[in-house]
Structure 1
Amino acid sequence: MTVDPASAARPVPVPGPRPQLGPVPPGGRAAWTAWAIGCTVYVLAVVHRTSLGVAGLDAAERFGIGASALSTFSILQVLVYAAMQIPVGLLVDRFGPRRVLLLGVLLMSLGQLAFALGTSFGPALASRAVLGCGDAMTFISVLRVAARWFPPARNPLLAQLTGLAGMGGNLVTTVVLAEALHREGWTFTFGTIALAGTGVFALVALLREGPAPEGPGRGPQPGRRLSVRRQIRDAWSEPGTRLGMWVHFTTAFPAAAFGLLWGLPYLVEAQGLSRGAAGGLLTLLVASNMVFALVFGRLVSRSAALRMPIALTVLGATAGCWAVVLAWPAGRPPLGLLVVLLVVMGTNGPASLIGLDYARAYNPSERLGTASGIANMGGFIGSTITLLGIGILLDLLSGGAAHSAAAYRWAFCWQFVPLAVGTAMILRLRRRIS
């Protein structure tokens, strides 16, 4: 077979980041104000989302349920969150982030209030689904506000700063909420969180979505709207979107499953720590997350080429630490090793935001919300798989008795299955983008 020299010399087109259309957003004080308002909603959403993480044992006693049923609370909430990501992305693209944030605050407040007053499993489960629906509307909306107000080069840092602000909400949960639950009880604690949404709702009503007047390519343009099917198809067909989803899937779920539900029971029942000591270690997870958010945000803002090395390093370190902890004789590693594990898992959340940066960089502005939604649902699908797997294995291995250290040890080995699948998909898709 002969090869035409001219065609052989012709470069093969490779998918790459989409160029910025329209004028570059200005940044400045107004931009930081708009971003701060959006972040206030996200902080509240994280408090709502993680509130069950310090109340797992209390919820089991209040509703008279076992590990599998207890995991259903977080699983349903996360499933709803994941299922809502594409619809929310479409809503943000069409109606703007302010309206979506307002609806999100309303749904979170109603769901948490119903959870505070619930005394039976069924209604409480439904309330967590409503809460998850509202939670799903926050993060993508905040990223869209940042994209309209700040230059593209600042977006990776802004995404990490948004995640860092969310960790402030996690800190409120592990420190303030845990203590309030112990002192004031179930209804007062969760009811107070629900009522906090009133002030946040009023604040979001003042939000400016972008600089005025908006230029071409910023915000939804009626003439450029595509059908829902076409919008989703175009976003999914972009390899950068799919790579972003798998990066988010694989890096996010270990720390998410630990912080959302199984961290406190594991540390108390499997490792024999007091609830106070376990809460302190969970605080370390939050603090580590905040530090790595700043580090990763600065690194990726300076060089997009660092995205994949950071993601793969985080995956290797997380898998390695869990392997050592679970392989430790009798399943009771020393406290120092648990500290290392929690510090390493603090990298998971910041690394997962690299997935959203892939989606942002490889999609035009008119489908940015949709692409971000696809990428953002990855970690929550991974968390659902992990939460459910651990809960089922705990019940099977315990046979109705109290969960032993050995049961937790084998149940937590389930994490390596989604880790292996996600890593394989990342390595496969990375070859398809520049």
Structure 2
Amino acid sequence: MRLGLILLCAGYVLSQFYRAFLAVLSQVLEADIGAGPDDLAFASGLWFLTFAAMQIPVGEALDRIGPRRTAAVLLALGGGGGALVFAMASAPVHVAVAMGLIGVGCSPVLMASYYIFARMFPADMFATLGAVMIGVGSVGNLAGSAPLAWAVEVFGWRESLFVLAAVSGILALGIFVTVQDPPRAEHARKGSVLDLLRLPAMWLIFPLMFVNYAPAAGLRGLWVGPYLGDVHAATSTVIGNATMIMGIAMILGTFAYGPLDRWLGTRKWVVFVGNAAGMLALFVLAAQPELGFGAAVALCAAVGLFGMSFPMLMAHGRSFIPTHLAGRGVTLMNLFGIGGVGLFQVLTGQLHAVASEIGGAPAMPYQVVFGFFAVLLLLGLAPYLLSRDRLD
């Protein structure tokens, strides 16, 4: 199982790469196939939306047939197939279709790991193990920055995507061979997602789950590239370096969140304070988008650092979920988390387009995007204040 978890983690590295690499490809895709920022916002949003839409069937599959077949089959067909479509793209719509397929392929990888953690490890280790998985997996975030910019410059973006398709297939095969399914949890009632939706405690967590990851993923996955290019005249190489800095901040944030619940004796307030800090960084970016380049990168990195409360928030919600619904529970929460990223990525693309048509300073459309993300966090934090803290 150790090797199986390592390969699932490698699959999550790939997932993190796929959700973040469009920021670096933005200029070359616009030049080669006419895909502008709004097209890429839609394609990036489609990745997250298809990923989210798959969470309910993935949760059902995890509880019924286990993580081995669920993760291997979807990663091979969706991840490998989607990367092939992307490599052969000749129009923006092809990129959107490819990203949708890749979203399907990546949808079970992290949740297969979380299902194993929930079923086979002590409850008080869930947040730490989840944070380690996301932190190590976030190496893909880094690979989708400066290293990808170098690969595109040396080999070309199409050739890079063909390699990624092969890597997806090889990883899927490895997961199928090495991952072991936990014993099935027997229960008098099979249960369903509706049982989870009847838990009052979850409805104070869902709103923040819906918005907490959207700003960090949105900026790192797309907006930081066009923002630095349009407002600060950054080149592709400079954008690659800046996105790598933000990616490192996100990794550090993930590992920092991981053990804090056990150290401080609270999950709720770790999550609340972290998201409030990220919200303040977004409000500063919205108010002063033309700050110096260094300050702009630092604020984007702060959004990434404080925006990685996902595993801690998952652990908070997991503490209210019955064992026999573990698969459906973690995937339902992931549906809210990733679905929010997808929805708000599409919405910010529309907001950016409308603001661009109005005219004004180049920074104005990005002020709208940053302000929108800040308000989302504010709306998610309000009901979370009423939630019940829980560590078991």
Q: Call closer, same or farther: CA 1:70–1:40 in 2, change over 3 Å.
A: closer
Q: What does the per-residue CA deviation read over 1:290-320, in whole Å, with 9 as the maximum and x for residues that have no partner?
A: 22222221122445x4211111112221121
Could you tell me the TM-score, scaled by structure 1's length?
A: 0.83
Deviates more, 1:318-327 or 1:72-81: 318-327
How do 1:119-134 residues align onto structure 2 when only pairs under 5 Å count?
119-134=90-105
How do 1:237-248 residues align onto structure 2 when only pairs under 5 Å count?
237-248=198-209
Q: Are 1:62 and 2:32 matched, yes or no?
A: yes
Q: Are 1:300 and 2:265 matched, yes or no?
A: no
Q: Are 1:252 and 2:213 matched, yes or no?
A: yes
Q: Look up the match of 1:4.
A: none
Could you tell me the TM-score, scaled by structure 2's length?
A: 0.91
Return 5+ residue gaps in structure 1 as ranges: 1-29
Number of residue pairs the alignment of both structures matches: 391
* Cα distance, 1:263 vs structure 2: 1.2
**Does structure 2 conserve the Cα–Cα contact (< 8 Å) formed by 1:241 and 1:371?**
no
**Does structure 2 conserve the Cα–Cα contact (< 8 Å) formed by 1:110 and 1:194?**
yes
Deviates more, 1:380-389 or 1:318-327: 380-389
Q: Call closer, same or farther: CA 1:118–1:70 in 2, change over 3 Å.
A: same
Q: Call closer, same or farther: CA 1:175–1:424 in 2, change over 3 Å.
A: same
Which of 213, 216, 225 is matched with 1:264 structurally?
225
**Does structure 2 conserve the Cα–Cα contact (< 8 Å) formed by 1:363 and 1:371?**
yes
Deviates more, 1:331-340 or 1:350-359: 331-340
How do 1:201-216 residues align onto structure 2 when only pairs under 5 Å count?
201-209=172-180
Q: Are 1:283 and 2:283 matched, yes or no?
A: no
* Cα distance, 1:348 vs structure 2: 4.1
How do 1:378-393 residues align onto structure 2 when only pairs under 5 Å count?
378-393=336-351
Deviates more, 1:167-176 or 1:147-156: 147-156
* Cα distance, 1:164 vs structure 2: 0.5
Q: Look up the match of 1:143.
A: 114
Q: Look up the match of 1:376.
A: 334
Query: Matches of 1:239 and 1:277 in 2, distance apart?
Result: 47
Query: Matches of 2:359 and 2:83 in 1, distance apart?
Result: 31
Larger radius of gyration: 1
Query: Matches of 1:100 and 1:301 in 2, distance apart?
Result: 32
* RMSD (CA atoms): 2.5
* Cα distance, 1:90 vs structure 2: 1.3
How do 1:374-413 residues align onto structure 2 when only pairs under 5 Å count?
374-399=332-357, 404-413=362-371
Q: Are 1:317 and 2:277 matched, yes or no?
A: yes
**SS of aligned partner of 2:69:** helix
Query: Matches of 1:192 and 1:207 in 2, distance apart?
Result: 23
* Cα distance, 1:160 vs structure 2: 0.1
**Does structure 2 conserve the Cα–Cα contact (< 8 Å) formed by 1:245 and 1:356?**
no
Q: Look up the match of 2:135.
A: 164
* Cα distance, 1:356 vs structure 2: 1.1
How do 1:324-343 residues align onto structure 2 when only pairs under 5 Å count?
324-328=284-288, 331-343=289-301
Partner AA of 1:297 in structure 2 = G
Q: Are 1:46 and 2:16 matched, yes or no?
A: yes
Report percent identity of matched pairs: 24
Query: Matches of 2:36 and 2:315 in 1, distance apart?
Result: 39
* Cα distance, 1:432 vs structure 2: 11
Query: Matches of 2:362 and 2:206 in 1, distance apart?
Result: 35
Deviates more, 1:91-100 or 1:142-151: 142-151
Query: Matches of 1:93 and 1:240 in 2, distance apart?
Result: 23
* Cα distance, 1:428 vs structure 2: 4.0
Which of 84, 88, 104 is matched with 1:113 structurally?
84
Partner AA of 1:262 in structure 2 = W
